[in-house]
């Protein structure tokens, strides 16, 4: 078989690939449809969260003041949670749950379960997690430690 000449052979194609310019900017790729959908969902979620936060801030009653020497107070008759920024309405179960914490100090979760009539500590934990945004609006937070739970002022950064 005769040897083929690469330059003159019609069935052999030679391609020359030049290396990219190292100083050139990287190629900008357009986002995929999944990325666009994810970004759209993120923007919509942020808008919903902002609207919910505005609604909570509008519910705060600024005329209420804290009891002297207390971090926060609970008005079980009026179903109000009173913090540094004002008062906010709450349910009777949550008011009964937070009443021991208003006395000050740390309390075991079992004490709060009994005070609010919760099924177990998991139900209490879920309820306190749901209460977090309301507490933040009035300037409070839940401090969880092994020694127990307490209500503390919100740390402003």
CA distance 20 to 26: 10
Angle at which helices 92-102 and 121-137 pack, to 10 degrees? 80
Residue 122 resides in a domain = yes
Asked if 89 and 117 touch (Cβ cutoff 8 Å), the reply is no
pLDDT of residue 2: 59
pLDDT in tens, 16-48: 888 888 888 888 889 999 999 999 999 999 999
Residue 91 resides in a domain = yes
The mean predicted confidence, pLDDT, of the chain is 88
Residue 32 resides in a domain = no
pLDDT of residue 8: 73
Asked if 86 and 64 touch (Cβ cutoff 8 Å), the reply is yes
pLDDT grade for 120, boundaries at 50, 70 and 90:
very high
27, two tokens: 């190629």
Q: What is the pTM of this model?
A: 0.67
Residue 9 resides in a domain = no
| CATH assignment of the domain containing 100 | 1.10.10
Strands, sheet with 86-89, edge to edge from the N-terminal-most edge strand? 73-75, 80-83, 86-89
Residue 16 resides in a domain = no
Provide the residue range defining the domain that includes 63. Answer: 59-153
pLDDT higher than threshold 60 for residue 1 = no
pLDDT in tens, 70-92: 888 898 898 999 988 889 999 99
Question: Per the structure, how many domains does the chain have?
Answer: 1
CA distance 77 to 58: 22
Residue 20 resides in a domain = no
How, if at all, do strands 140-145 and 73-75 pair? unpaired
pLDDT higher than threshold 80 for residue 14 = no
pLDDT grade for 93, boundaries at 50, 70 and 90:
very high
Residue 87 resides in a domain = yes
Lowest mean pLDDT among 28-32, 53-57, 64-68, 89-93: 64-68
Angle at which helices 33-59 and 121-137 pack, to 10 degrees? 80
Residue 117 resides in a domain = yes
Distances (CA, A) of 20 to 17, 26, 29: 9, 10, 17
94, two tokens: 């949550």
């Amino acid at each position: 078989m005769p040897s083929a000449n690469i330059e003159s052979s019609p069935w052999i194609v030679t391609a020359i690939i030049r290396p990219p310019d190292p100083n050139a900017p990287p190629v900008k790729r357009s986002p995929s449809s999944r990325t666009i959908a994810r970004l759209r969902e993120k923007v919509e979620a942020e808008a919903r969260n902002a609207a919910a936060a505005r609604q909570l801030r509008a519910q705060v009653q600024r005329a209420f003041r804290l009891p002297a020497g207390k971090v926060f107070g609970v008005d079980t008759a009026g179903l109000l949670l009173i913090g540094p920024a004002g008062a906010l309405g709450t349910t009777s179960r949550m008011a009964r749950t937070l009443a021991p914490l208003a006395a000050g100090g740390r309390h075991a979760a079992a004490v709060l379960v009994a005070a609010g009539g919760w099924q177990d500590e998991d139900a209490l934990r879920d309820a306190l997690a749901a209460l977090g945004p309301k507490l933040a609006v009035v300037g409070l937070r839940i401090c969880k430690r092994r020694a127990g739970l307490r209500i503390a002022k919100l740390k402003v950064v």
